[in-house]
Amino acid sequence: MGDMYGLLGRKLGHSFSPRIHAELGGYEYALFEREPEEVEEFLRRGGFKGINVTIPYKQTVMPFCAELSTAAEKIGSVNTIVRREDGSLYGHNTDYDGFMYMIKTSGVSVAGKKALVLGDGGAAKTVRAVLAGLGAGEIVTISRRGENNYTNLDRHADAALIVNATPVGMYPEVDAAAVNLSVFPKCKAVLDLIYNPAHTKLLLQAESLGMAAVNGLGMLVEQARCASELFTDRTIPESETARVTAVIAASTMNIALIGMPGCGKSTVGGELAARLGRRLVDMDGEIVKRAGKTIPEIFAQDGEEEFRRLETAVLADISRESGLVIATGGGVVTRPENLPLLRRNSRVVLLERPIDDLPTDGRPLSQKYTPSQLAIARAPLYNSWKEIAVRVTDPVETAEKVIKELKI
Ligand code: NAP
């Protein structure tokens, strides 16, 4: 265990860190889930060479470090520990570099601007230190317990930048947002430290209001790159952060296939799932399971409205997950509320197939409308919902094209 690296925390099930460190350094990176009473012994006895520290131990570990970096001391928390030759521990904080990177890549200029920081925990301290270092005009902390809280947000309607440093909106509680952004008409950008889901409810609202919206994945990777440099005593180019961020986003986000009924979503989805080692979720199949009857039966007995309601409920559940291939139903685009559910954690791929090649048998809406009638009504929706479009040829070739276009 002497050369071992890893992450110390309490609950680490959904951590992206092992994958990030595998990309950065190729060394073994383990998850050390410890209860509070086990932390001291782990730090004293553990044979690790370097570790990252996460919730809830970023402060707990500080007294066990023989030396702290200036950043760790200033921020008051440690997210990286290196065991030195003599066995003593050196504590540092690379979240600072991570948030600095997040600001830089967002293109937001901070100097002189009023910023709101949501939350008053460890991450908020780091955020405030970076914003102050960049000369932000006024930095206001919104805390449930503070003078500036969620009941008087209108005091700060002039904020230009909002940073979410609370866990509100994080998987699995994805339906929550710490604030409603309509209170902030002057806000230009929202930075959310959360990275799972890729687009929190807060970020989706920011996008819909025309604000820049950035998630915390780049920050997570940059703090890991800086930690990895310390662990391995070598320089890793900053360009690695963008590369690894793209790799992690590609492997953790779902691939959602949309398109006309019969365009090949299930077949191409099956091929993608097999090639990428992912689970295929066929939404029509999930709806049938939930309703306990076939789709023609749902349409005949309960009507299309009920089918659409079920479809949205199924999508709301599936869209919490990561790394799936999702074959949607052709009509998923007919309900606007399905778009944020898809965008939450999925890359949306439109499969295009010539109308004359689309089958019609057994599909309730295809009995009512011809494929061209459906296509005319839906084409604008498919086009505005998609991230990329791929023309369907045979399933193997089509799956290959999707993988290539999404750079997976
Ligand atoms: P934390 O200390 O557990 O929580 C931060 C603060 O959020 C709390 O002090 C609290 O502030 C507020 N808060 C907690 N639950 C809330 C709720 N239900 N409603 C409203 N406010 C609530 O966590 P942290 O370490 O600072 O991390 C905060 C978030 O940033 C987490 O989601 C974490 O995953 C993320 N993060 C991301 C990165 C990255 O690299 N992307 C790095 C660090 C942290 P008040 O009690 O003052 O309201």
- How far apart, in whole angstroms, are the C-alpha atoms of residue 149 and residue 140? 10
pLDDT tens digits along 392-404: 999 999 999 999 9
Nearest-Å Rg of the Cα atoms of the chain is 24
Q: Is the CB of 395 under 6 A from ligand 1?
A: no
Number of Cα atoms under 13 Å in the Cβ half of residue 370: 6
Q: How confident is the model at residue 372 (pLDDT cuts 50, 70, 90)?
A: confident
Distance 89 CA to ligand 1 centre (A): 26
- pLDDT beyond 50 at 353: yes
285 lines ligand 1 (CB under 6 A): no
Task: Tell how far the Cα of 276 is from the centroid of ligand 1, in angstroms.
Answer: 33
Rounded CA-CA distance 193/261 in Å is: 38
Distance 303 CA to ligand 1 centre (A): 44
Residue 6 has pLDDT above 50, yes or no: yes
Between CA 114 and CA 6 the distance in angstroms is 37
- How confident is the model at residue 57, as a pLDDT? 97
Residue 371 pLDDT greater than 90, yes or no:
no
Binning pLDDT at 50, 70 and 90, where does residue 355 land? confident
State if residue 223 touches ligand 1 by the CB under 6 angstroms criterion. yes
pLDDT given at position 245:
97
User: Exactly one of 58, 113, 265, 386 is catalytic; which is it?
Assistant: 58
Which atom of ligand 1 is least distant from the CA of 125?
Answer: 26
Is the C-beta atom of 167 inside 6 A of ligand 1? yes
User: Has residue 367 got a pLDDT over 70?
Assistant: no
Protein residue whose Cα sits closest to atom 31 of ligand 1 = 167
Question: What is the pLDDT at residue 46?
Answer: 77
Instruction: Judge whether 368 counts as a catalytic residue.
Output: no
Nearest atom of ligand 1 to the alpha carbon of 223: 40
Q: Note the pLDDT of residue 112.
A: 98
Residue 165 CB less than 6 A away from ligand 1:
yes
Give CB contacts under 8 A, 24+ apart, made by 309-318.
Answer: 311/283, 311/287, 311/335, 311/338, 312/337, 312/338, 312/341, 314/283, 314/286, 314/287, 314/290, 315/283, 315/341, 315/342, 316/341, 318/254, 318/281, 318/283, 318/286
Whether ligand 1 lies within 6 angstroms of the CB of 144 is answered as: yes
pLDDT in tens, 154-197: 999 999 999 999 999 999 899 999 999 999 999 999 999 999 99
Bridge partners (DSSP) of residue 40 are: none
Indicate the average pLDDT of the chain.
Answer: 94
pLDDT digits (tens, 9 = 90+) for 294-328: 999 999 999 999 999 999 999 999 999 999 999 99
Q: Sorting pLDDT into bands at 50, 70 and 90, what band is 1?
A: very low
Give the rounded percent of residues in the chain with a pLDDT score beyond 70.
Answer: 97
Q: Does residue 311 contact residue 281 with C-beta atoms inside 8 Å?
A: no
User: What confidence score (pLDDT) does residue 365 get?
Assistant: 61
**pLDDT: which is higher, 307 or 360:** 307
DSSP letters spanning 128-150: HHHHHHTTBSEEEEE-TTSSS-T
Under the phi-then-psi rule, with left for phi > 0, alpha for psi from -120 to 50, and beta for the rest, what region is 119?
Answer: left
pLDDT in tens, 130-158: 999 999 999 999 999 999 999 999 999 99
pLDDT in tens, 28-48: 999 999 999 999 999 998 789
Distance 14 CA to ligand 1 centre (A): 16
User: Is 68 a residue whose pLDDT tops 70?
Assistant: yes
Q: Is the pLDDT of residue 280 over 80?
A: yes
- Residue 28 to residues 19, 43, 47, 94, 224: CA-CA distances in angstroms? 10, 18, 13, 20, 14
